[in-house]
Amino acid sequence: MKIALIGYGKMGKAIEKIALSRGHQIVSVIDINTADGFSSGEFKSADVAIEFTTPDTAFNNYMKAFEAGVPVVSGTTGWLDRIDEVKKMCKNEGKTFFYASNFSIGVNIFFAVNKYLAKIMNNFPAYDVRMTETHHIHKLDAPSGTAITLAEDILANVERKNRWTLDKEEQAADLPIHAIREGEVPGIHEIVYDSEVDYISIKHDAKSREGFALGAVVAAEFTAGKVGFLGMNDMLKF
C-alpha cells in the first residue's frame, strides 16, 4: 500500500518504521516546512495519508488531503470541535476519514471489555469498584485520558456510581481513580470490583508506545478503498 505521512514528529517517525516493516511504501512526507507537498503527484498517488500533527493544523491538513483525493487516518488530538464538519463531508461528499484519539488496539479491546463488565456488575451491588492507573514520571496530567474514558464508561453502566474522583473516595457513589507516577512506565490501567468474599480485576499494561503507531498503520490498511467516517469500533467490529 502507498502511504503519505502528514506530520513527521514522534508519531510520524514511529509510523514510518512500522509501515515499512509491514511492506508498505512511504510515497510522501509532509511536515511544517513542506506543506506544498499536498499538490505533488507523489502525495496524490497515496492510497491513504496518516496524519499526526497539532490541534491547530490538523483540520486544514484534512481539507488539503481531501482536495487531493486522498483518504485520511488521523490521531491528532485537540481539534474535535470541528469533527461534525468532517463527518458531514464524509456523508455528503464521499470523503474517507478514520479517527481515533487512542490507536492502541489493546486499549480499545480493553475499553470494550470494561463496558461489558460494567454492565454485568451493575446487577451486583456487593461489589465496589475502583481504578488504578500508573504512568511514567514525565506525565503531567492525572488521571490519564484513558482512565477518564474507562471511568466514564463505568459511570454510564453502573448506576450506583455517579462521579469519578482522583485519589479519594468521599461518598459511596464515587468511583476513585488512584494515579501512580513511577519510572518510565508507558501506561497501566487496572479496574477492580471488590466484594467481601473476592475481587475481580481487569488490567491493560502497555509494553511501549509503539502500540499507537501499529494501530494507526492497521487502521490505514483498513481504511484504504473505503468511503465514509470510520473509527476503531468499525475496524475491531465489537
Ligand X SMILES: NC(=O)c1ccc[n+]([C@@H]2O[C@H](COP(=O)([O-])OP(=O)(O)OC[C@H]3O[C@@H](n4cnc5c(N)ncnc54)[C@H](O)[C@@H]3O)[C@@H](O)[C@H]2O)c1
Which residues make up the interface to ligand X (CB under 6 A)? 6-12, 30-32, 35, 52-54, 57, 61, 75-78, 100-103, 212
The catalytically annotated residue of 64, 95, 135, 189 is 135
189 catalytic? Reply is: no
Of 7 and 71, CB closest to ligand X: 7
138 catalytic? Reply is: no
Of 149 and 165, CB closest to ligand X: 149
| Minimum gap (Å) between residue 47 Cβ and ligand X | 19
Closest residue to ligand X in the complex (CB):
9
Cα(17)–Cα(156) distance, rounded to whole angstroms? 38
Strands (E), 149-233: 163-166, 174-181, 188-194, 199-205, 228-230
CB 132 within 8 A of CB 182: no
Count of residues for the chain?
238
Cα(72)–Cα(43) distance, rounded to whole angstroms? 12
Of 21 and 60, CB closest to ligand X: 60
| Minimum gap (Å) between residue 1 Cβ and ligand X | 20
CB 117 within 8 A of CB 191: yes
| Minimum gap (Å) between residue 229 Cβ and ligand X | 16
CA atoms within 13 A on the CB side of 13: 3
* Residue that is written with C-alpha cell 495519508 in the block: 49
CB 86 within 8 A of CB 61: no
If residue 44 lies in a helix (H) or strand (E), which one and from where to where? helix 41-44
Of 27 and 117, CB closest to ligand X: 27
Cα(185)–Cα(162) distance, rounded to whole angstroms? 30
Of 32 and 180, CB closest to ligand X: 32
| Minimum gap (Å) between residue 81 Cβ and ligand X | 14
| Minimum gap (Å) between residue 114 Cβ and ligand X | 17
Task: Cite the active site residues.
Answer: 135, 139
